[in-house]
Structures are given as structure tokens and as C-alpha cells.
Structure 1
Amino acid sequence: MNFTRRTAGAAALATALMPSLLGARERGGAAVLGKAAVTPMTLLDPELRDGAKLILAQPLPDPLDHAAIVAMRKAAPPPPEILPAPAPAVDFRMIPGSHGHPPVKVAVIGAGRKTELRPAVLHIHGGGFIVGRMADTIPASQQLAQEFDCIVVEVDYRLSPEARFPGPLEDCHAALAWVHENADDLGVDRARIAVKGESAGGGLAAMLALAARDRRSVPLCCQILIYPMLDDRTGSTRRVPDFIGTIGWNETGNVVGWSSLLGQPAGQTKVPAGAVPARMPNLEGLPRTFIGVGSLDLFVEEDMIYAQRLVQAGVPTELLVSPGAFHGFDFVVPDANVSRAFASAWKRTLRMAFARPAAA
């Protein structure tokens, strides 16, 4: 796979948001299945190999403490420039936070045309709950708004450990409720509001769908969960094979991320209610769901289990496991065949959710 300047920049940003295993704890080498040694590099999709090497060349800070987290945020490359017209316009706003929480900054993309009601996506960025910025994903959301003729709202939720659960979730819920309450002014069809997120953003999207259901606040038509971070037990009390979770996000980062959000060590017997989607006892009544993850992603098992539970709860669910793909592969190498197929799959689910006529 030949890297363009755009691809290399995306890989550098992904490396900042999804650190590699290097510099963290040792994993004990290759796994052995039968007589053959299994390493992540032997299982990689060939088109993703250079992207994986680029990520692995930049080690994770050791230790990954609060000072290191702050340093990672400061060292992140400048966000990509907002796409100019004719791309959908971006309008930054401060909206009221949830009761007892501060105001929330959002970016409203593609609003203003009120001749007909259009669908909307609330997008939540990733970064392990500890890093990441709304600004990093605005250009991609502009493209999403243009391709689907929809309105996209990005939410600048507070990061952990400074803001612990439920702070980040409340920021996301405030943004979702604001879209629903102001649908007429935004030109949004209240019956066609979806949530989407990647990694920790996917985990927050899953939390948000559960909260919206339980609070009966906003009826969602769809949740698009891209390699979502769903279970605090992964990497703490539940280990993964040595060849999984070594490129991109890893066990060490996962333990730090979840511990930072929860305000307690990851993997404890009890967690705050609504904080960990994988631990929620009831998944009934959730909207149509897409879950996509790579076979080498740290989250592959927890995402497969969550999809199975959704199916068993009667939720229309599509699960895609992309062979030979690591965490964030579609962002690092967007032009790879496996990345294109991945994007086509989640877009198909979103189109089906948006296909019904707008509400009167």
C-alpha cells in the first residue's frame, strides 16, 4: 500500500490517539497454536502492514500516568483543516449541559436548509476516554453529512481522569437531547436520529443508546459502533491472546482508560450503573445496530459477545469482523480494500436506518 501525504498524516494522528504496545508491559512473545507460532504481523492483511509498522514505531509512554496523558494531548498534531465550501458548513455552539454539569461545545455540520426534514448523526470521537478532540473528526463528519445529505453534530465531551463517569456520558446526552429538542430549528427529522462513534467514542455511543432508552429521552433509529470500547474487564480480569491487541490500542492503555473513566481500577466486581455497556443486564429495546471490528483488535471478543447479546435481545444487529485488521485500521489506511469494505458495510446499515420517510 502506497502512502499519500493524507494517509501518512492520518496514521500519525491515529498513533497519537491509539498508542502501540511498545513501551508497555511485555506479552511473552508469539502465541503457539499447534506447532505454528502466531504473531500479529503474520496475520495482518498485506495492505495494512506498512500502517501497522508506522504505529508500532512510536511507543506508548511508560508509565501511562496522568502526566503522560497530558503530554500525549499536548503532543497531538494539529487538527486537520475544516473542509471549505461546497463541503457542509460547520457552526460551533455552546449548549446547556445536563443538570449539574457545565455547558457543552458542539459542532453542527450541514444545518440551515429547512425546506425538508433530514436525518441526523450525533458523532462521538475516540481516544480511550483520555485523549482525542472533536476537531480531529470534523472533516470526516463534513464528508458524512454531504454523502448522506444529513446533519452531523460533533460533541466535545470532557476527558478522563479529570471528568469521571458520568461526566462524559452526560455531555453526550446533553448534545443528543439538544438535537432532539431543537430539531425544528435544525431541520432534523426526530424519527431519524442516529449515534456513531469509534473506539471510546463507540463505547460512549453504546452507553448513550442505553441511557436514552432508560431515560426515555430520545428515540434513536440506529447506533453505528466502530470497534467500540465496551468492557472494562478486557486487559484487566479478562486477558486476550498474545497476538491480539498489540497494534493500536492495547491492554495497558485499556486498563488506564477504563480506570480513568470509572474512578476505580478496571475490572472490579461492581461498576457504576450504566458505565460499562458489556455489563448491562438488559439490551432489549435498543435501536438497529452495526458493530465492526478487526480480527486483531483488542476489542474483537467483547464486540462479538455484545453483538451476540443484542441478537438474543431481539435487536436488529450486523456484526462485521474484518480479517487481518488492527484497531483503527480504516483510519490509518483508508484506501485499503478491507477498509473500503468496512466503510461500505456500516454505511449500508446507516442508509437502511435513514431510508424511511421523514416524520410529519
Structure 2
Amino acid sequence: MAREIDELRQLFAGQPRPASWAERRQRMDEICALDPPPDDVVFSPVDLEGLPAEWSLAPGSDPARVLLYFHGGGYCSGSIRSHRAMVGALGRQAGIRTLAIGYRLAPEHPYPAALEDALTAWRFLRAQGYAAPSIAIRGDSAGGNLTLATLVALREAGEEMPAAAWLVSPWTDLTMGGATLDSKAAVDPLISREYLDGLAHAFLARRDARDPAVSPLFADLAGLPPTLVQVGSSEALLDDAVGIARALGAAEVPVVLEVWPQMIHAWMVWAARLADGRAGLARAAGWLRAQFALRTG
């Protein structure tokens, strides 16, 4: 385990951080797509009112249950391509269909563009005949933020909740109040306070970072569905994950928090080369199947 994660750290450390948004997006697509998608998973593009999206379905999976996936990237990078291998693998593990979306990115499209796109994807699934209990939502990093924002928006609109939410390395506090942003700085090869400050500035576009709409840590979380939170112990965003799990629990939301020793930010993206990445996906897939069974039988 230690050797695998050390090799991944060395790979990231050998590449200087790009400056422009175009370079950042290109690099994220490259480093997150180090390994090819599973050979047996079928990926099918779909257009959701101009929003690019992609279905995936593995042989033997249940197409009547779907995981709506929001990629990470600080709301400024990331794509369907960057997370395709992981999305295909997790769909196969859980035995369900997935729908990944390419939501609009900041700074060209700051808040609330991503949330609007997430709600478009939700409405698309409902129009396709998926009942809310047959849908789960999953996101990593900023995608975890977007997952929570989407759930709060659905609750406020009086809509039925999905079966479950699954957060991986979620970025939940855009005020950067977590102590681990500093205490884990030396061991996190991907995330830093300075880096997040730039992303938040681009995404917020002068909106107050304490606004619950952009920092779910400060939101009213009552009524949200059962939630699984997974985070690595070597993450600068460890406090964001622990904090949101605490807030969910305080709001009487059933929540499971897993802290994976030595793992880095969004480590399951590299599950093909990390044993703990595969184990994390398998653990979550089993939890997700159980949540679907509770809601749909």
C-alpha cells in the first residue's frame, strides 16, 4: 500500500503546477486518466439540453438504478474524460448504470452555473422515468460540494430525495477554515490553501464564501438522504470531510464517515493502481446497494 501511494506521489511531484486555466484543465484530464476505462463497460454520450453527459453500463448491471456523478476539479477543471475510468469502475462494482455530466466551469461560468447544470441532469433522469429512490448522487472534491448543493436545492423545492449521497474528499468550506489545510500541507501532493483560494475566487465571483449555497458546511442539512463520506488521512481537506459528516449527523441524517490511512485527495480516481482505491470503491458499492435495497426493495 505504502509503495503504491508513494509512486503516485512521486508522479505528481515531478510535474510543475500549470498556470493558465487551459493548462490546468489539460493536466487534470491527463493525470486523472492515467489508466484506461474498463474494457467491458459501454460508454454512451448524451446531450441534456446542451449539457454534455455520458451514460455507462457494465454487463449484468441494473439499468433501472442510476448513479448521477459530479466530477471534482475545484469547479474550474475536471471533465467527463478525467473521471471516466473511475465512473465506469464504480458503476460496475455497484451493478448499476451511471450518468456523468460535464457541468460548466468557472471562471467563465461561476456560481450558480454548475448547480443549474446539476439540476438539469436530475430533471433529465426523472423525465426518463427514474423514480427518486432509484437514483443516487456521488461527487468528489468540488463534486461533493455540488452533490450537497443539489440535495439542498431539491429539498427546498419540495422534491423527493434520492436513495443516497456518496461524498469523496468533499470540499465543503470555501472559507478555508479547516486546520488540516495547514497541518496536512506537507503530505498532500494535490491540494494547497493557495491553490484552493484561487479556485474559490474564480467560482464565487464576489459571493460570500460563508453563504450556505456555496459552503454546505454552513447549510441546513436536515432531510437529506443517507450519506457516505470517504476521505484520505493525508488530505488537506480532511477537516472538510470530517466537518460535513459531523454536521450531517447533527442534522439527524444517517451518515457513515471513513478515513482511509495514507490516502491522498480523491485517491479512488487511481483505483487501477491503488489497492485501497479498489477497496474504497468496493466498500462504497456495497453500501450503495444496501441503500437502494432499503428504498426500492
Aligned partner of 2:168 in structure 1 is 226
Distance in structure 1 (CA, Å) of the matches to 2:90 and 2:268 = 15
Residue 105 (str. 1) matches residue 52 (str. 2):
yes
- Residue in structure 1 matching 2:234, options 296, 304, 320: 296
Q: What is the CA-CA distance between 1:324 and the residue it aligns to?
A: 1.8
Q: What is the CA-CA distance between 1:108 and the residue it aligns to?
A: 2.2
Distance in structure 2 (CA, Å) of the matches to 1:277 and 1:132 = 21
- Residue in structure 1 matching 2:14, options 38, 54, 57: 57
Amino acid at match of 1:300: L
Identity of aligned residues (%): 22
Residue 313 (str. 1) matches residue 251 (str. 2):
yes
Bigger radius of gyration = 1
- Residue in structure 2 matching 1:151, options 97, 106, 110: 97
Q: What is the CA-CA distance between 1:110 and the residue it aligns to?
A: 3.0
RMSD: 3.0
Aligned partner of 2:44 in structure 1 is 91
Q: What is the CA-CA distance between 1:338 and the residue it aligns to?
A: 3.2
- Residue in structure 1 matching 2:159, options 192, 200, 217: 217
Q: What is the CA-CA distance between 1:139 and the residue it aligns to?
A: 3.5
- Unaligned 5+ runs, structure 2: none
Q: What is the CA-CA distance between 1:319 and the residue it aligns to?
A: 0.3
Q: What is the CA-CA distance between 1:334 and the residue it aligns to?
A: 4.3
Q: CA offsets per residue over residues 187-209 of structure 1, 9 Å max, x none?
A: x4442210011111122112111
- Unaligned 5+ runs, structure 1: 2-44, 97-102
Q: How many residues align?
A: 294
Q: Contact conserved, 1:104 with 1:155, CA < 8 A, in 2?
A: yes
Distance in structure 1 (CA, Å) of the matches to 2:274 and 2:209 = 41
Judging changes above 3 Å, is the alpha-carbon distance between structure 1 residues 274 and 151 closer, same or farther for their aligned structure 2 residues? same
Q: What is the CA-CA distance between 1:142 and the residue it aligns to?
A: 2.9
- Once the two structures are superposed, the pairs formed by residues 172-191 of structure 1 within 5 Å of their partners are 172-183=118-129, 188-191=130-133
Judging changes above 3 Å, is the alpha-carbon distance between structure 1 residues 227 and 237 closer, same or farther for their aligned structure 2 residues? closer
Q: What is the CA-CA distance between 1:241 and the residue it aligns to?
A: 1.6
Aligned partner of 1:137 in structure 2 is 83
Aligned partner of 1:194 in structure 2 is 136
How high is the TM-score relative to the length of structure 2? Answer: 0.87
Q: Find the residue that maps to 1:290 and give its secondary structure.
A: strand
- Once the two structures are superposed, the pairs formed by residues 1-360 of structure 1 within 5 Å of their partners are 45-61=2-18, 64=19, 68-75=20-27, 76-77=29-30, 86-87=40-41, 89-96=42-49, 103-110=50-57, 118-183=64-129, 188-234=130-176, 240-241=182-183, 243=185, 246-264=188-206, 268=208, 270-271=210-211, 274-280=213-219, 282-332=220-270, 334-356=272-294, 358=296
Q: CA offsets per residue over residues 328-353 of structure 1, 9 Å max, x none?
A: 33333644443343223322321211
Judging changes above 3 Å, is the alpha-carbon distance between structure 1 residues 342 and 164 closer, same or farther for their aligned structure 2 residues? same
Distance in structure 1 (CA, Å) of the matches to 2:295 and 2:182 = 44
Distance in structure 2 (CA, Å) of the matches to 1:221 and 1:244 = 38
Distance in structure 2 (CA, Å) of the matches to 1:219 and 1:301 = 26
Q: Contact conserved, 1:177 with 1:218, CA < 8 A, in 2?
A: no
Q: What is the CA-CA distance between 1:318 and the residue it aligns to?
A: 0.4
Q: Contact conserved, 2:155 with 2:223, CA < 8 A, in 1?
A: yes
Q: CA offsets per residue over residues 286-339 of structure 1, 9 Å max, x none?
A: 000011111120110121011011111111100011122221333336444433
Q: What is the CA-CA distance between 1:144 and the residue it aligns to?
A: 3.1
Q: Contact conserved, 1:223 with 1:289, CA < 8 A, in 2?
A: yes
Distance in structure 1 (CA, Å) of the matches to 2:185 and 2:270 = 20
Q: What is the CA-CA distance between 1:238 and the residue it aligns to?
A: 8.8
Q: Contact conserved, 1:225 with 1:292, CA < 8 A, in 2?
A: yes
Q: What is the CA-CA distance between 1:232 and the residue it aligns to?
A: 0.6
Q: What is the CA-CA distance between 1:77 and the residue it aligns to?
A: 3.2
Amino acid at match of 1:251: R
